[in-house]
């Protein structure tokens, strides 16, 4: 009988195929060893296993590179395993007469627990990577074969508890029409790889490895997260239609790959991507982003026990900019506070964290933290086109003070004969009503603007971006927000500096004609929206966009604006 399950739609597209259910043998059952443990033999075995692991992983990474996806995630596994702390934990345990298998299990479990307890989704997902490393190392130590997915029948819907990066790499991807898992979120590596390979995927669908049997017919919608088991003929037809529509849309989008971003009348725009880690650069490049318009560096500071060192930050920034191969990288300085907490900074609990001691306010009072970050950014600027961006600016003094600190750091680097770009551009995010109202003054202080609509909307509307009860107010179609955006771009134009937008609204198809009319120069969106935004921008001439913007701005209410835009876009 037909039966529907729901998970997270993590890679868009639809498919109907035959299920292959993989039930992984749990690798972390305690070893039942009765023989005495000889640390020397165990250690040699472990070292051998590490070597085999690295060699195999590098091979898989190369294979992934060849298929057009990136092998970097797997290379990250080699780095994780070779982390001195990880290695020393394992070897220490072996020296204490614990078997290699148990030492690997305990250490990986410890790391996975630390990651899984993290507040941010991105770090939580790294727990899956550690589990993947663990399972594979144990298989190698036990001399067992790893799950082989390299030869699959056509139209396979892969159903698995958790699809690990290594499984994905070894997978016969041409014959996999969809992936369904019990675990994993939108930012898990499985999700990233599925999107890169353009395979529809539904993750975190509870109980799928039990409710689906190998051989079952399964219909999957990777957009909505729907999984239909044993669908009837009507459902199959509906999914096949969806699949065809998606393929058609995808084919159109693919035509925009490698093309410049231009309006229908030839106005060139910049189309960048937002990232939260240097590892995301690859996905941005695969989606043909022309640069990075927002590197949210706070992720480097989150889910750890101490501040990242200058060296750690420098390597992340350098990795990001070298990965961009000459394309620009806008690094936003630390934006903590509000909804982003960092326990080890020991910040006081605040009555109104969104209005409190956060972002550039914190950095200007904690100059040691700020200067370390600026030093790391400046040092990385010797390796590519890096620009600095300050978050949550509300007054000119903040920019002046930040620039003074930047100059001080530059002087230090000159004295130390360390290379950096002396002309590094500095810009501000316009995401507070204050910054919007003094955009003319700020425009004379900086090299560029980037509008943070996520915060700008909440502050203009005085409606918490995370509070469902006031969601009806939290909308970029509110006349107040639209006027704000128009004003900010006009001030940038007046001063002759580029205006960008890195809030979610930059990818909103209904807003794009308005942004074209206002003269926005740069759109920075999530990697998977890049081609769609390029296609949307190509639809509008500046004149047609103006016509729509004039009408939209003459309307009185959010609902009128929203409904009007839906009729013309």
Residues forming the active site: 189, 502
Does 431 contact ligand PEP by CB under 6 A?
Answer: yes
- Three-state secondary structure string covering 401-458: HHHHHHHHHHHHHHHCCCCCCCCCCEEEEECCHHHHHCHHHHHCCCCEEEECHHHHHH
Token output for 298: 């706070």
Token digits of residue 365: 């009072």
The token pair at 295 is 């590197």
Per CB under 5 A, 464 contacts Mg ion: no
Q: Is 296 in the site for ligand PEP (CB under 6 A)?
A: yes
Give residues 102-131 in contact with ligand PEP (rule: CB under 6 A). none
Nearest-angstrom CA–CA distance, 253 and 528 = 11
CA separation for the pair 272, 108 (Å, rounded)? 36
Identity of the residue, 202 or 292, whose beta carbon is nearer to ligand PEP in the bound complex: 292
Q: Give the interface segment with ligand PEP, choosing from 34-42, 99-107, 350-358, 449-457 (CB under 6 A).
A: 449-457
Nearer Cβ to ligand PEP (59/124): 124
Q: Which of residues 340-379 bind ligand PEP (CB under 6 A)?
A: none
CA dihedral 175, 177, 182, 186 (to 10 degrees): 110
Q: Which of residues 225-264 bind ligand PEP (CB under 6 A)?
A: none
Rounded Cα distance, 17 and 175, in Å: 10
Using DSSP, state whether 548 is helix, strand or coil.
helix
Closest to Mg ion by CB, 131 vs 458, is: 458
Q: Is residue 498 at the binding interface for Mg ion, with CB under 5 A as the rule?
A: no
Pick between residue 270 and residue 431 the one whose CB is nearest to Mg ion. 431
Query: Residue 315 or residue 454: which is nearer to ligand PEP going by CB?
Result: 454
**Residues contacting ligand PEP: total by CB under 6 A:** 10
- CB of residue 4 vs ligand PEP: minimum separation in angstroms? 34
502 binds ligand PEP (CB under 6 A): yes
Q: How far is the CB of 534 from ligand PEP (least distance, A)?
A: 20
Contacts of 243 (CB under 8 A, 6+ apart): 13, 14, 15, 16
Q: Is 425 in the site for Mg ion (CB under 5 A)?
A: no
Do 530 and 271 touch, CB atoms closer than 8 A? Answer: yes
Q: Which of 286, 455, 522, 532 binds Mg ion (CB under 5 A)?
A: 455
Smallest distance from ligand PEP to CB 319, Å: 21
Residue 554: alpha-carbon gap to chain centroid:
37
Numbers of helices and strands, H then E, in the chain: 23, 17
Contact range with ligand PEP by CB under 6 A, out of 110-118, 148-156, 254-262, 448-456? 448-456
State how far Cα 48 lies from the chain centre: 35
Contacting residue, 453, 486, 526, 528, with ligand PEP by CB under 6 A: 453
Residue 545's binding partner among ligand PEP, Mg ion, none (Cβ under 5 to 8 angstroms by kind) is none
Query: Rounded to the nearest whole angstrom, what is the least distance from the CB of residue 465 to ligand PEP in the complex?
Result: 8
Residue 296 interacts with, from ligand PEP, Mg ion, none (CB under 5-8 Å by kind): ligand PEP
Are 446 and 426 within 8 A, CB to CB?
A: yes
Q: Cα–Cα distance between 243 and 220 in angstroms, integer?
A: 10
| Residues of this chain that bind ligand PEP (CB under 6 A) | 294, 296, 335, 431, 452-455, 502-503
| Residues of this chain that bind Mg ion (CB under 5 A) | 431, 452, 455
């Amino acid at each position: 009988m037909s039966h529907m399950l729901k998970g997270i739609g993590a890679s868009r597209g639809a498919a109907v195929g035959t299920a292959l259910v993989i039930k992984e043998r749990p690798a972390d059952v305690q070893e039942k060893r009765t023989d005495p443990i000889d640390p020397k033999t165990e250690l040699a075995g472990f070292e051998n296993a590490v070597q085999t692991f690295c060699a195999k992983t590098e091979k898989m990474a190369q294979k992934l590179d060849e298929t057009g996806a990136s092998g970097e995630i797997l290379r990250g596994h080699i780095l994780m395993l070779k982390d001195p702390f990880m290695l020393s934990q394992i070897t220490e345990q072996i020296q204490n007469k614990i078997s290699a298998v148990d030492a690997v299990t305990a250490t990986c479990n410890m790391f996975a627990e630390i990651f899984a307890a993290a507040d941010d989704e991105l770090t939580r997902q790294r727990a899956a990577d550690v589990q993947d490393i663990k399972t594979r190392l144990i298989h190698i130590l036990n001399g067992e074969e790893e799950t082989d997915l390299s030869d699959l029948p056509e139209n396979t819907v892969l159903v698995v508890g958790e699809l690990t990066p290594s499984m994905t790499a070894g997978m016969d991807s041409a014959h996999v029409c969809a992936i369904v898992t019990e675990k994993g979120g939108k930012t898990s590596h499985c999700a990233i790889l599925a999107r890169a390979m353009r395979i529809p995927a539904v993750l975190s669908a509870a109980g799928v490895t039990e409710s689906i049997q190998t051989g079952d017919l399964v219909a999957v919608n990777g957009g909505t997260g729907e999984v239909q088991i044993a669908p009837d003929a009507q459902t199959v037809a509906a999914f096949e239609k969806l699949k065809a529509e998606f393929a058609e849309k995808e084919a159109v989008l693919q035509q925009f790959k490698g093309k410049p971003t231009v309006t229908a009348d030839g106005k060139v725009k910049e189309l960048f991507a937002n990232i939260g880690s240097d590892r995301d650069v690859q996905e941005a490049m695969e989606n043909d982003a022309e640069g990075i318009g927002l590197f949210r560096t706070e992720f480097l500071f989150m889910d750890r026990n101490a501040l990242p060192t200058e060296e750690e930050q420098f390597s992340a920034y350098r990795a990001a900019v070298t990965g961009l191969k000459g394309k620009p990288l806008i690094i936003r300085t630390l934006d903590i506070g509000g909804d982003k907490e960092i326990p080890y900074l020991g910040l006081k609990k605040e009555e109104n964290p969104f209005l409190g001691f956060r972002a550039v306010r914190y950095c200007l009072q904690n100059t040691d933290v700020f200067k370390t970050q600026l030093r790391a950014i400046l040092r990385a600027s010797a390796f590519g086109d890096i620009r600095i961006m300050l978050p949550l600016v509300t007054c000119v003094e903040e920019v002046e003070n930040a620039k003074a600190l930047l100059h001080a750091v530059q002087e230090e680097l000159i004295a130390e004969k360390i290379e950096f770009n002396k002309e590094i551009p500095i810009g501000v995010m316009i995401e507070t009503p204050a910054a919007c109202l003094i955009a003319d003054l700020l425009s004379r202080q900086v090299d560029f603007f980037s509008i943070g609509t996520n915060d700008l909307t909440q502050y203009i509307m005085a409606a918490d971006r995370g509070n469902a009860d006031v969601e009806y107010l939290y909308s970029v179609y509110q006349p107040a927000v639209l006027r704000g955006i128009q004003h900010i771009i006009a001030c940038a134009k007046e001063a002759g500096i580029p205006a960008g937008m890195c809030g979610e609204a930059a990818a909103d198809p209904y807003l794009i004609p308005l942004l074209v009319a206002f003269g926005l120069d740069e759109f920075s969106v999530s990697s998977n929206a890049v081609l769609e935004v390029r296609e949307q921008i190509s639809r509008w001439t500046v004149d047609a966009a103006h016509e729509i913007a004039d009408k939209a701005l003459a309307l009185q209410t959010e609902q009128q604006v929203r409904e009007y835009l839906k009729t013309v876009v």
